[in-house]
Amino acid sequence: MLSLFQLANCSQTVQIPYMPPATAAAHDAMFGFLVIPNGTSEAFGFKACRSPPKSTGFPVSLFSTGAGTSRLVYSFLPKWVASIGFNVVSIDHTYDAH
């Protein structure tokens, strides 16, 4: 699974779920011992541009988490790197992320 983060000037945004519903449910179950209410993970989301950026002439950076962790946990970091002028491709390695 890949995600692409790019610097953009958005005229319209759309709310995107932070993770798919099945992943959110598994995440809630995994951290249930912390007494976090069910549905908490499903409530997370972020805003994205409705249309792709017009200019893509920025350098490309590949972000790989490792340690069995999903790229979704670290999306704040590729967002920041994109904000300083990079196209950032974030990857989950098959069978490596929870």
- Using one digit for the tens of pLDDT, what is the confidence trace for 36-74? 787 888 888 888 888 776 766 789 999 887 666 666 677
Bigger pLDDT: 24 or 96?
A: 24
Averaged confidence pLDDT in the chain: 80
What is the longest distance spanned by two Cα atoms in the chain?
46
18 within a domain of the structure (yes/no): yes
Alpha helices in 4-88, H assignment, sequence order? 21-30, 76-83
27 within a domain of the structure (yes/no): yes
Tell me the pLDDT band of 35, cut-offs 50, 70 and 90: confident
37 within a domain of the structure (yes/no): yes
80 within a domain of the structure (yes/no): yes
97 within a domain of the structure (yes/no): no
Domain holding 55, by residue range, is 2-91
**Cβ neighbour number for residue 3 with a 10 Å cutoff:** 15
Strands 60-64 vs 87-91: parallel, antiparallel or unpaired? parallel
Q: pTM (2 decimals)?
A: 0.55
68 within a domain of the structure (yes/no): yes
Distance separating alpha carbons of residues 52 and 11, to the nearest angstrom: 11
Distance separating alpha carbons of residues 87 and 81, to the nearest angstrom: 8
98 within a domain of the structure (yes/no): no
Tally of structural domains, the chain: 1
